Amino acid sequence: MNDTIRMHYERILPFVEEKELKTLHDEALEARKTLLAGNGKGNDFLGWVNLPEDLDQSILDQIKGDVSRLAPKSEVLVVVGIGGSYLGARAVIEALQSEFAMIEGNGMPYVVYAGHTLSEEYYHQLIQLLDKKEYSLVVISKSGTTTEPAIAFRILKAHMEKKYGVEAAKERIVAVTDARRGALHDIAQQEGYSTYVIPDNVGGRFSVLTPVGLFPIAMSGYDINRLLQGAKDMRQICINNDSMEENPALLYAVLRNALYRKGRKVEMLVNFVPNLKYLSEWWKQLYGESEGKEGKGILPHSLSFTTDLHSMGQYVQDGERLMMETVLSVANARNGVDIPSDEKNLDGINYLLGKSLTEINHNAELGTIMAHVEGGVPVLRIEVPQVDEYVLGQLIYFFEFACAVSGYMLGVNPFDQPGVEAYKKNMFRLLGKPGYEK
Ligand code: PA5
């Protein structure tokens, strides 16, 4: 079985000119050169480029040790973090686990999230759950000062100390933060938590292949070595191949920029398997925060089909022609389910007998793509053989690399996020934080 991702872009070609693709290919090669030479904008944050190769074995050993210490005594793992500090882990975990894992369990801790919301009701509900469950907690913040996870951690640390006692609670808490600075760094030092470092040169949304993502993924029972292997293999492809046919990251960066320059300001990432919903959420952060600045950038949007064909499908087919569509297409399901035969055929679906659900889903996918192209939406199909750790590792690295190249082609710094500060300043002033009174 072919175990790498494949790009199908014939349905984009009617919307762009060949000459333009050639020009953009040259721009993409130039952008990659800048990225690999480390002399472009934001070059202090390029640690992710070599991460799959550079990750120290001692980190993997520490993760293994913490997982074997904590998993047997935890029904639940709480991941406290926001943005890049939780979306990568959630993307991988939710892609791999059963949709019903919370109820049925799989022998490993079930991951729940905190620090990504300020909803009081959410924390009330979480505490009610944690009153009844054995749990451990990982608090993740690169700056160590972000308000949402700081509040969540204060609430949950107090809950844990009450439930288990101060000393036992310390054994159940893991921290992932900066090597030297920040409130979380200081708390972790004082309390003696098992601690992992987020490298200085890796930004939040590019950090899933550091302990930020690796620790929660390993705690859920998934194979982080396979994830890293997928990323490593994709890295070789991304950094070495000049041809768009052989380098999906270059091709993706070229196609989306070609369409953007033709007025396609929105990109919809579409899946036909609901487990990929959080991969889309991770992708939205990656591309939205990296490219949406200086009044520029493609707006990343996501849909889950066929579910959303019955809600947003109408707009995609007939609404304003703002968008391009990128379908993440999964060739094989990991498990089969038969459609039973029924002589009466009152529902009229006997014509489907003998076809697998995956085959039916693929026909829905093809029918949708054809309809959307006819309706004037350019569609790129990214095909993966199945959803597993290796493929997810490939996808993560592919999307990250393409994002950096695409951001440089757009002329922005893909590694900063100055716009995120605006709401914080207002919120701090409204809440009376010292130093923000006026
Ligand atoms: O990509 C980013 O840099 C952001 O989304 C951060 O991950 C997010 O704001 C959380 O920051 P921190 O990890 O410092 O708490």
- Edge-to-edge strand order for the sheet containing 110-114? 110-114, 76-80, 135-141, 173-177, 194-197
d(CA 186, CA 43) in angstroms, rounded, equals 28
Eight-state DSSP code of residue 342: -
Would the CB of 142 count as within 6 Å of ligand 1? yes
Q: What angle do CA 342, 343, 346 make, to 5 degrees?
A: 75
For residues 353 and 341, the answer to whether their CB atoms sit within 8 Å is: yes
Average pLDDT over residues 220-245: 97
Q: What is the pLDDT of residues 309-341, one digit of tens each?
A: 999 999 999 999 999 999 999 999 999 998 999
pLDDT of residue 1: 43
Answer whether residue 302 shows pLDDT above 60.
yes
User: Token pair of 63, please?
Assistant: 């993760």
Q: What is the pLDDT of residues 142-186, one digit of tens each?
A: 998 999 999 999 999 999 999 999 999 999 999 999 999 999 999
Q: Name the residue at shortest CA distance from atom 8 of ligand 1.
A: 83
Residue 41 known to be catalytic: no
Residue 75 known to be catalytic: no
Average pLDDT over residues 290-296: 97
Average pLDDT over residues 128-138: 98
Would the CB of 288 count as within 6 Å of ligand 1? no
Mutate which of 85, 118, 187, 207 for ligand 1 pocket (most atoms within 8 A of beta carbon): 85
d(CA 66, CA 80) in angstroms, rounded, equals 17
Q: CB neighbours of 20 closer than 8 A, spacing ≥ 6?
A: 258, 261
For residues 380 and 327, the answer to whether their CB atoms sit within 8 Å is: yes
Would the CB of 289 count as within 6 Å of ligand 1? yes
**Alpha helices, DSSP H, located in 82-198:** 87-96, 101-104, 120-132, 147-164, 166-172, 183-191
pLDDT of residue 105: 84
Cα(158) to centroid of ligand 1, in Å?
A: 24
Task: Report residue 104's pLDDT band, with 50, 70 and 90 as the boundaries.
Answer: confident
- Residues linked to residue 80 through DSSP beta bridges, in sequence order: 114, 139
Average pLDDT over residues 407-433: 94
**Alpha helices, DSSP H, located in 173-300:** 183-191, 211-219, 224-240, 248-261, 277-291
Q: CB neighbours of 291 closer than 8 A, spacing ≥ 6?
A: 297, 298, 403, 406, 407, 410, 412, 414
For residues 377 and 323, the answer to whether their CB atoms sit within 8 Å is: yes
Task: Report residue 3's pLDDT band, with 50, 70 and 90 as the boundaries.
Answer: confident
pLDDT of residue 2: 59
Answer whether residue 139 shows pLDDT above 50.
yes
For residues 406 and 291, the answer to whether their CB atoms sit within 8 Å is: yes
Would the CB of 82 count as within 6 Å of ligand 1? yes
Q: What is the percentage of the chain residues whose pLDDT exceeds 70?
A: 99
Q: Looking up tokens 């990214």, which residue turns up?
A: 382
Enclosing H/E stretch for 54: helix 51-54
Catalytic-role residue among 281, 289, 389, 400: 289
Mutate which of 45, 82, 140 for ligand 1 pocket (most atoms within 8 A of beta carbon): 82
Catalytic-role residue among 355, 424, 425, 433: 424
Would the CB of 417 count as within 6 Å of ligand 1? yes
d(CA 208, CA 214) in angstroms, rounded, equals 7
Q: What is the pLDDT of residues 59-76, one digit of tens each?
A: 999 999 999 999 999 999
Would the CB of 302 count as within 6 Å of ligand 1? no
Q: Looking at the CA of residue 82, tell me the nearest atom of ligand 1.
A: 10
Q: Looking up tokens 């082609």, which residue turns up?
A: 409
For residues 302 and 268, the answer to whether their CB atoms sit within 8 Å is: yes
Q: Name the residue at shortest CA distance from atom 15 of ligand 1.
A: 141
Q: Which residues of 325-337 are buried (b: 16+ CB within 10 A; e: fewer)?
A: bbbbbbeeeeeee
Residue 289 known to be catalytic: yes
How much is the mean pLDDT over the chain? 96
User: Token pair of 153, please?
Assistant: 């951690």
Q: Name the residue at shortest CA distance from atom 9 of ligand 1.
A: 83
pTM, two decimal places:
0.97
Cα(420) to centroid of ligand 1, in Å?
A: 9
Q: What is the pLDDT of residues 20-53, one digit of tens each?
A: 999 999 999 999 999 999 999 999 999 999 999 9
Q: Name the residue at shortest CA distance from atom 12 of ligand 1.
A: 141
